[in-house]
């Protein structure tokens, strides 16, 4: 059976002996995982030659790649120098990821600072329009995933990212971080119905996106301001992973689940097994 959902770690598996992304891809395949996110969070340092090598390794082993752009991105900033740097970080992540055969670059949209939510939206939209047109000019074919953020001070709630996607066309899509939705309070996720509500909203607003969604999963520690730190699966069950896997198995949706817990690949395998057993239960009915 070909699984409709791909699972993989955010970065090189902790069970991997090597430290290169290519070895990470090979290790994912050995473990039975079929996705991996390249972490450019401290800067894009991958050479073009390595990206081409990773592309071959990933194609050969059917591991689908994505990337996470640097953390220091703020598309809402009025500071022209910071905005230009943010634009560069996203474009460079996208370029190298496309060279590695990856399908999506995830980024954190920005911060409100002194802006109202509408002003922040307009600023992010303007910056993304420019980035999307630059991708087209340079013929870089990749999706940009606006990650749902975990802090209340950050721009990029689920509604905001859905609106960005509706406004900008299919190059920009939301990247759903369930732990962030839970911690920020966009959606407190307690069980199956909450996952169904989120996917229902995505399907209503963005149609086909649920056939190729991209998401991050982790359990999370948070305060009233939002996220604090990620937890391994089974720590506080917030948000709970079993109902998520059940909803995915029953829904017919397809996409990629990147595990962002401190146990990366180990927890990605737990998610995958839970999903497979939910698929088995579904098949047995
Ligand atoms: Zn992120």
Query: Rounded to an integer, what is the distance from CA 86 to the centroid of its chain?
Result: 18
Q: Tell me how far the alpha carbon of residue 175 lies from the centroid of ligand 1, in angstroms.
A: 9
Q: What pLDDT band is residue 63 in, cutting at 50, 70 and 90?
A: very high
Residue-number span of the structural domain to which 258 is assigned: 5-284
Q: Tell me how far the alpha carbon of residue 108 lies from the centroid of ligand 1, in angstroms.
A: 6
Distance between CA atoms of residues 37 and 68, nearest Å: 7
184: its two tokens: 């920020």
Q: What pLDDT band is residue 3 in, cutting at 50, 70 and 90?
A: low
List beta partners, residue 10. 37
Alpha carbon distance, N-terminus to C-terminus of the chain:
17
Task: Please classify residue 207 by burial: count the beta carbons closer than 10 Å to its beta carbon, then call 0-12 exposed, 13-18 middle and 19+ buried.
Answer: exposed
Give the range among 57-61, 165-169, 205-209, 279-283 with minimum mean pLDDT.
279-283
List beta partners, residue 221. 229
Q: Tell me how far the alpha carbon of residue 276 lies from the centroid of ligand 1, in angstroms.
A: 26
Q: Tell me how far the alpha carbon of residue 1 lies from the centroid of ligand 1, in angstroms.
A: 31
Question: What's the pLDDT tens digit per position in 103-131?
Answer: 999 999 999 999 999 999 999 999 999 99
Q: Tell me how far the alpha carbon of residue 107 lies from the centroid of ligand 1, in angstroms.
A: 6
Q: Tell me how far the alpha carbon of residue 68 lies from the centroid of ligand 1, in angstroms.
A: 7
Query: Rounded to an integer, what is the distance from CA 22 to the centroid of its chain?
Result: 20
Q: Tell me how far the alpha carbon of residue 70 lies from the centroid of ligand 1, in angstroms.
A: 9
Q: Tell me how far the alpha carbon of residue 149 lies from the centroid of ligand 1, in angstroms.
A: 7
- Say whether 235 sits in a helix, a strand or coil: coil
Distance between CA atoms of residues 145 and 214, nearest Å: 8
CA nearest 217: which of 274, 160, 170? Answer: 274
Q: What pLDDT band is residue 1 in, cutting at 50, 70 and 90?
A: very low
| Phi, psi dihedrals of residue 190, rounded to the nearest 5° | -110, -25
62 and 36 Cβ atoms separated by less than 8 Å:
no
- 136: which residues sit within 8 A by CB, 6+ positions away? none
Q: Tell me how far the alpha carbon of residue 152 lies from the centroid of ligand 1, in angstroms.
A: 15
Instruction: Name the region of 160 (left: φ>0; alpha: ψ -120 to 50; beta: rest).
Output: alpha
- Cis peptide bond upstream of 239, omega within 30: yes
The whole-chain average pLDDT of the chain stands at 95
Q: Tell me how far the alpha carbon of residue 10 lies from the centroid of ligand 1, in angstroms.
A: 10
What is the number of structural domains in the chain?
1
49: its two tokens: 């030659």
CATH number for the domain that contains residue 107: 3.20.20.150
| Phi, psi dihedrals of residue 38, rounded to the nearest 5° | -80, 130
CA nearest 132: which of 167, 156, 184? Answer: 167
- Residues around ion ligand 1, judged by CB within 5 A, are 147
pLDDT at 154 over 70: yes
| Parallel/antiparallel/unpaired status of strands 219-223 and 226-231 | antiparallel
| Phi, psi dihedrals of residue 67, rounded to the nearest 5° | -145, 160
List beta partners, residue 155. 110
pTM greater than 0.85: yes
| Parallel/antiparallel/unpaired status of strands 213-217 and 154-155 | unpaired
Question: What's the pLDDT tens digit per position in 20-55?
Answer: 999 999 999 999 999 999 999 999 999 999 999 999
Q: Tell me how far the alpha carbon of residue 20 lies from the centroid of ligand 1, in angstroms.
A: 21
- Number of other residues whose CB lies within 10 A of the CB of residue 30: 12
Distance between CA atoms of residues 120 and 127, nearest Å: 11
């Amino acid at each position: 059976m070909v699984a409709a959902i791909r699972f993989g770690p955010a970065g090189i598996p902790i069970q991997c002996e090597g430290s290169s992304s290519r070895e990470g891809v090979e290790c994912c395949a050995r473990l039975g995982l079929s996705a991996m996110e390249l972490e450019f969070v401290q800067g894009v340092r991958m050479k073009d030659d390595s990206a081409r090598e990773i592309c071959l390794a990933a194609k050969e082993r059917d591991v689908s790649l994505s990337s996470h752009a640097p953390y220091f991105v703020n598309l809402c900033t009025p500071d022209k120098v910071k905005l230009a740097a943010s634009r560069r970080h996203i474009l460079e992540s996208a370029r190298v990821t496309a060279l590695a055969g990856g399908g999506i670059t995830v980024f954190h949209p920005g911060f409100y600072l002194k802006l109202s939510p509408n002003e922040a939206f307009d600023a992010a939209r303007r910056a993304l329009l420019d980035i999307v047109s630059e991708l087209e000019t340079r013929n870089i074919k990749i999706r940009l995933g606006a990650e749902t953020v975990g802090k209340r001070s950050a721009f990029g709630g689920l509604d905001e990212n859905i609106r960005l996607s509706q406004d900008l066309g299919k190059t920009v899509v939301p990247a759903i971080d369930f732990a962030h939705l839970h911690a920020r309070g966009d959606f407190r996720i307690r069980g199956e119905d909450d996952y169904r509500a989120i996917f229902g909203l995505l399907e209503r607003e963005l149609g086909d996106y649920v056939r190729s969604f991209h998401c991050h999963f982790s359990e999370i520690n948070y305060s009233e301001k939002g996220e604090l730190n990620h937890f391994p699966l089974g720590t506080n069950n917030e948000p709970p992973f079993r109902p998520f896997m059940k909803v995915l198995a029953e829904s017919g949706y397809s996409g990629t689940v990147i595990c962002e817990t401190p146990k990366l690949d180990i927890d990605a395998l737990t998610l995958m097994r839970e999903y497979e057993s939910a698929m088995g239960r579904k098949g047995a009915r």
